[in-house]
Chain A
Amino acid sequence: METNKRPLDGIRVIDFSQVWAGPYATLLLALMGAEVIKVESRKRIDGSRLSSLTTGQRFSGFDSSTVYNELNLNKMDICLDLGQPKAIELAKRLVTISDVALQNFRPGVMDRLGLGYEALSEVKPNIIYLSSSACGSTGPERAYAGYAPGFASLSGLASLTGYSDGPPFTMGGRIDLISATTSAFAIVAALNYRARTGEGQYIDLSSSESISVTIGDVLMDYTMNRRSRRRDGNHDEVMAPHNCYRCKGEDDWISIAISNDEEWRAFVNAIGNLDWARDEKFQDAFSRKQNEDELDRLISQWTINHTKYEVMDMLQKAGVAAVPSFSSEDLFNDPHLKERGFATELEHPIMGKTTVLSPPWKLSATPARITRHAPLFGEHNNYVFGELLGMSQEEIETLMEEEVIH
C-alpha cells in the first residue's frame, strides 16, 4: 500500500555545500523525504547557479540554471553571509533544530568560521556532521582542492579509462555523483546508528577515496601481485567478444558481451551460422580471448548491416547480452524507460517546463518523490528565520539590511 510517507520524513539537513558533490548528496536525502535547507550567500554563489560546467553556457540569472535545478530539487534555500558573526549565530541556531549538517569547503574553512564539528556538537550533541573534500580532511594533501576529474585522476580510475593506445579520460560529473551517493549512504548509516543509540558523529569523506573503492579489485592486483593494470577500451580480462560494434547509422553502436560457450553458440546461430564463426579458434572462451581483435573485426562486418535496435532484438531473443550504446536522445525515446517513468516534468517559476530524472529506485511502501523545483535564491528566508527560528519580520529585515541575510 503506498503512502505519501517517505523514509527520511522528519529529518532536517543543513546544507552548506556547493557545486556537485555536496548538493547531490543532500538531493538524495531530499528525494527520500528529508527537509534540506541550503545555506547560500551573494558573497559565495553556488557555481552551478552561474554557469554550466559542461556546456560552458552562462545563465542569465541566479534562478535560470537547469543544472542547479537538477541538483537541488525538493530543497529550501536561505541566505547567510557566513563572513558575519551574526550569520554564524543564526547558522548555529539552525543546527540546534537539525539532525544532519554537510559541507564541502576546503578542510579547515568551516572550523575557522566556528562551524566545525566540535563547535556544532556543543549546540547539538547528536548532530551528524559530514565534511567531504577532494583528499579527506587529514593527511599531507588535505588542503588540496579538487573536482570530479581530479578525483578520477588521483584515484587511478582515469588511467583505466580510454583506448589502450589513447590518452586517459578523467570523465565528467559522474565522479562527483558517485562520491555524493557514498556521502548520502554514510549519513543514513549514521542516522540508523543514532536511531538505535541516540549518538551522532563526525564523518570525514574523501572523494578520491570514494572512487578508489570502486576499483578495489584492480588496486588489489597491485597489493597482491605488484601489477599495475592499464586501460584497454571496452575489453574484458576474460570475456570475448566484449566490445562495442558499429551499426547502421551515423554514430550508432551496440555493446555485445559473451561469457560462455553456450552464449557463443546462441550468438553464432542468431547471426546465421556464418563460416568464420565455426573456426576452431573461436570455440571456447580462452581461444576467443586470444583471437579477440580478429573476432571484433568479423563481428563488426555483421553488425554494420543492421540498426542497433535490430541487433539488440535479435541477440536478446537468443539469450545474448547486447544493448545499444544509448545517447541521451535514445534514452528519452526509449519504450522501456518510458514505461518505468524514469523522467519527471516539472514547472519552474522562472524557466517554465523542465525535465529531470526521477529517483532511480522504486520503493513499494515509502517511495522517493520529487516534490518541487529547486529553490529560488533565498526563497525560504521568511519560513526558516520566521517560522522555524521564531524571528519577527522586523528582525529579518534589519538583518537583510545589515547584509547578514544576504
Chain B
Amino acid sequence: MTGRVLEGIRAVEFGQFYVGPYTSEALAYFGAEVIKVESIRRPDPTRWFGSTGGPDPKIIILTDPNKSVGFNELNLNKLSVNLDLTKPKAVELAKKIAEVSDVIVENNRPGVLDRLGLSYEAIREVKPDIIYLSASCRGSTGPERNYAGFAPIFGSLGGLSEITGYADGPPAPPIGGRTDIVCGTANAFSIITALIHREMTGKGQYIDNSDSEVISCLVWDTIMDYNLNGRIQTRRGNKDDIFAPHDCYRCKGEDDWISIAISNDEEWRAFAGAIGNPDWAKEERFQDAYLRKKNEEELDRLISQWTISHTKYEVMDILQKAGVAAVHSFSSKDFFSDPHLKERGAFTEVEHPVIGRLTVMNPPWKLSATPAEIVRHAPLFGEHNNYVFGELLGMSQEEIKALMDEQVIY
C-alpha cells in the first residue's frame, strides 16, 4: 500500500538558505506537513536571489519573493505562513503551532530563536515530546558557536577544501549548495532516528548539529592518516592512493571529459583490449597496479591520446561493455538527454503559479512500498496563513485580519 511514511507528522521550519530548508524538504518528500515560518522583515534570502540565466548568468536581486527558482527547488511540498517574530503575539502564535507539531527545524545563528522566546526549553513546556533540531556552522556551544557559515565556509573548516583541487593549485571549497544539502541530509537522518526513539519511548529531544562537524565526519579517512601517522594529506586532483589510471581524460568536444578508474590487473587487461591493444599498453611498466601507479603521468598522457579521438559517450559505452568503470563528467545539460535517468524518472515538473512550469529533481531514492513524492511547488509567501491560523489554530477570519494589520502576521 503506498501510504506516505511521515503522514501525520508536522514540522515547523524557521529556516533560511539551504541547510534548514533542505532538512524539512526531505521530511516533506515523505508526507510530513512542513510549515515554513517566514516574515517580510526577515525573509529567507533565497527568495530574493535570481539569475539572468542563459550562457553567462549573473546574479540578480529579485523584487518578487515568489519568483526565485532556487527557492522553489529547496522548499517543495511545504506550506508557508508569515510571522514577524520580533512581536510577542507572533511568538505566541508560533508556540501554538509548535504545540500541534512534532518537529522543529531551525538553522539561524545560535541564540537568535532563544532570544525570541522560542528556545527548546520554551517549546518543551508546550510540547514535552517535541524534537527540536538547530543546525549552525559551528554548533550551538563552544567558543565559536556564534560563527556563521555557508557551504564553502564549513566545507573549509571541516577539512574538505584542503583536500580538493589541483595538486599544483589552491584549495577548492565545495561549489553551490552541495555541502549544505549534505548537512540537510544529516539533519533529516538525526530527526528520523529521534522520531523512531520517540515512537518507542514517547520522549522527544534536542539535536544540536554543527555543519562543519558533519563535513569532518565525511572526510575523516584523510584525517585518520594524521592521527595514525602524523601525515597531513592534501589535494591531488582526481588521483587515488593506488588505482591507476584514475583521472578524467579529455574527449572529442568542447569541454567533454570521461572519468576512468581501474582497480586491478583484470580490469586493466579488459581496458587494453577495449582500446585495441596498442603496443604501449603491453609495456612491462603498466602490467600491475603498483607499476601503473608509479608510471601514472606517462599512462595518463597515452590514454588521453586515445580518448581525445572519441566522444565521451562512445568511450563510456566501449569501456563499460568491457567491464571497465568509465563515466563521463555530466554537465547539467547531459542529465536531460540521459536514457538511464529518463527510465528512472529522476526529474519531474511542477506548475508554479507565478513562475510557470518548472523542472525539479525527484527525491533520490526509490522505495517499493512508500515512495517519496513531490506533490506541489514551493509555497508562495504566506500562502497558508488562513489554513494554519484558521483551520489548525481555529482563529476566526477577523482575528487573522487584525493580526495582519498589526503586522504580527506579516
Q: Do chains A and B touch in the complex (CB under 8 A)?
A: no
